[in-house]
Structure 1
Amino acid sequence: MSDVHQENDHHESPIKTPKQLIAVVIAAFLVPIIVIVLLVSFVGHGTHEGAGSTQTAEAVNHRIQPVATLEIKDPNAPRVFKTGEQVYKEVCAACHATGAAGAPKHGTPGDWTARIGQGFDGLLKSVMNGKGAMPARAGTSPDDYTDYELARAVVHLADAGGAKFPEPPAPAQAAPAQAAASAPDAQAAAPAAPAAA
């Protein structure tokens, strides 16, 4: 029996009094809470600014601008044609700036040598009808870009590749817009003539 008593003495609990038990229970609750509070204060240390507060007013306005805008154009106003460089940047640069899908790179004479040999008309025909991965009219509609604007883009691209193509001639302004603009003047002049007589 003394062997059993010696075994029990060997496995005694470190908590011997009720005060020690209370201290251990309180510590079991307080220690994790203190650790959590310290972690939160460590992670949250420093100043945090709201989203976008370090951006300039212009950057914020750009970020929150509407996705689409409505632009109303006067149908009688003369059309302002885009330059070849503008059309290149808006339409052609997606492929011609990088050489994607085998497109000749802008400003690389070696890519353009054979193509320039076709002449301006041959290059313009390729743009209008499509060639390789490039769709007809470079994927644009006549409402977005006129034939003249696409021709200016051809000159811009080819000249950057070593050609010396002249700028294509500008189309004449639409006669209906001019006729409509002069018609009210003629009508206003007609009533004034009888009044003067």
Structure 2
Amino acid sequence: MTAPVIGVLALQGDVREHLAALTGAGAQARPVRRPAELDAVDGLVIPGGESTTISKLVDIFELREPIDKRIAAGLPVYGSCAGLIMLASEVLDGRPDQRGFDGIEMTVRRNAFGRQVDSFEASVEVTGIDGGPLHAVFIRAPWVEHVGADVEVLGRVTEGPAAGRIVAVRQGNLLATSFHPELTHDLRLHRYFTQLVRTAS
């Protein structure tokens, strides 16, 4: 079976880490900075980083309309942390000029868990991923405050002051997490997304 080609939006953030994780998960991983590179992929990852910066760079590199069109046509996309914010239909505490892709019907809160010093790690059970909880790394992470009827909640924080908060969701071919699986050695979430891309193709 031919490995799916999965791009990582390579404008800012954890690009190298996602490329390595996708390769380990059995995909052909490529950086995406231009519309022509986007045209050549079967799936796309929007990495963690700074969502307002990614939003600006998407326009500078003339990728907004091409990505919007591919999402509307069913392109599988996975967003981690800032990528989750970029996929949301509504963002709380965002900048007025910040624009995402309006892909997943959800309301998210930027930096919901606090500032950089409030970053933490926790175990998160994710529906559809076998083998026990994922070790989740949260860095200035958002959380999901509300989801639409078509959005499946895959994971919540189970401990601490943020217990119960939604941190993993899926709507059709779109997947998003508040945490950074690319910063661990656990490839299960990247394998899950690679299989989603395979199925969609």
- Which structure shows the bigger proportion of residues in strand conformation? 2
**TM-score (ref. length: structure 2):** 0.26
Structure of greater Rg = 1
- Which structure shows the bigger proportion of residues in helix conformation? 1
**TM-score (ref. length: structure 1):** 0.27
